[in-house]
Structure 1
Amino acid sequence: MTVHLISVGCSVLNAFHRPREFFGDIHPVITRHKPQHVLDDVGTSTAAMSDRLTVWFGVGGDLPTTQANLIRAVEADRWPVKVCAEMETFHRVTGRRRIADDDLVVLLATDTVDGLVSGMWAAVGLAGGAPERIRFVDTPGSITPQPGVAIVRVPHLDASNESGFAKAMSGLGSLGQALLPGPHGPAETFHFHLSGGFKAAIPYLIGLAEGLRSFPDTQVTAVEAHMLHDTSDRVIRLPLRKLDYSRVRKELACFTPDGSCNRPPNPTTMNGYAYEADPDGRRFSLTPFGVGLRTLMGIASEPIGRG
């Protein structure tokens, strides 16, 4: 199975507001049904929005007839790939307009109302209008690696401060950990599509990609990351480092649950990336990247070694 991780922006909502430009001969359908307003009654609470999507697409969820009829009415199986960055990048990388039976597409939605609504409609587009192929995951670490389209709410991904991003990276790390195959499962291939979404999150998603690429080949076959160039149809493949898995685990082992270490890690190859020294050089603190890496690599909340 190939896992596609796609950052979600708001381009699909923008397209709904300009249907003639994006939807061709089905623009009257979009104009009539106004899918961008499907969740207006929920209000501005992301928690309430998440609760509603859980009712519709969560485990044991039940999509009401009205919303199921709306999804059928907007004819997502006929949407052109240019409707949104998520669909277009997926198409340019895979050569396909919709997900295959053995694809898992993970839509990483910002913790905002627009991000969650956009995630829902991007999922509908990639699933070709088949709501039974869509599920909603409120907690990143609770995702299960099974085919379909998963809309994942990433708490704090709307943050504008380092503390918030540390929490978001912890969530992304737990998501990556949950997507890794078990000890007897086939190794996974991961493709990151980073054309949409909160631009400030791109370095953190690249950090997650590099962390996954560092796992042994028995767990991860390949990891790639792509972006679609704004002014052309060209897809840019982003460079990804492969870290030394054992060394990184050893290096991050000295940090306590509060993200600090009172001595220099050994070795110090991740200094300035996964952690930084305080001004006096005696105490080290994890960066958001370091928080995510520790979670992704399954390092226990207590130190795993002396370094």
Structure 2
Amino acid sequence: MKPRLILLIRHGESESNKDKKVNEHTPNHVIPLTKNGRNEARLAGIEILKLLNVDDESIIADIEDEQDHKEDRELLKNDYQRMKRTKDTDLVFYTSPYRRTRETLKGIIEVIDRYNELNCGIKVCEGESYQPSGTRRLAHWQCPVFPSGVFENNESVTNFKLMHTNGADPDFVHIEKNFLHYRVKEEPRIREQDFGNFQQTASMTEVMNTRANYGHFFFRFPQGESAADVYDRCSGFQETLFRHFDKSGGKKRDVVAIVTHGIFLRVFLMKWFRWTYEEFESLTNVPNGSVIVMELDEKQDKYVLRTTLPKWC
């Protein structure tokens, strides 16, 4: 039941990434994406499509041409080649409940829905797509579309093509089309590192300088968390994943994608690959909207990191 790929996606550019003063008056969990961040989310969706084994890769190029702005942010190693070519049809998305991760996932799903529309002829009806929020209230989230916190697209498709054979009566030939099924699960344990509540820009600059001298892993923010605290909840989340992978008779999952934040992403990799805290300290955040690829090597029965991570100069 192990998925072929585990993908880690950092959310797109948020308002606080652009201007730290936003944190002085807006709760961290309701900070939205910028226009550029929404574009980065769609580009991440295209990058994910390129990683999948799909029916028609030319459709991905068509979707890419539809985007207003393109940029190359791929961090895959130059020698990357897929280990397995079986079609991917089932994806599971875990998302942090923060607004910026939800909105990033929304952009990714819009791209997948577009692929399903072009490949299978199935268009998502208005009001039935994934909605990142269902209310305007700042501190409360409620989505009427999937109140349980789980969203799933359940379409199936069988296509037939009209074929003419030597002037005889036309025949209908069955053509296999693979619909990309996906489920969305909200997971509070993969949320952002807690930096405290409303944050004064001047005092946070001083705190960040202190952290740079102290070390990023063990430094605990006043009224907040250290990366070591994030490691503890990451451990519980990975145990949940392992139970899902080992569950016999469970739902198939070709790809597990985790839409999260910069610190959690690095902590996840540290825990999974058993890196030391010194190795963690050597890494810096990946750019907003980046997709980190872990691929299952079936011969070794373990996951291989296929992405080159940026490090501090």
Bucket of the pairwise TM-score, normalised by the shorter protein: 0.3 to 0.5
TM-score by length of structure 2 reads 0.34
Larger radius of gyration: 2
Select the structure that is richer in helix. 1
Instruction: Using CA pairs under 8 Å that are at least 6 residues apart, name the structure with larger relative contact order, 1 or 2.
Output: 2
TM-score by length of structure 1 reads 0.35
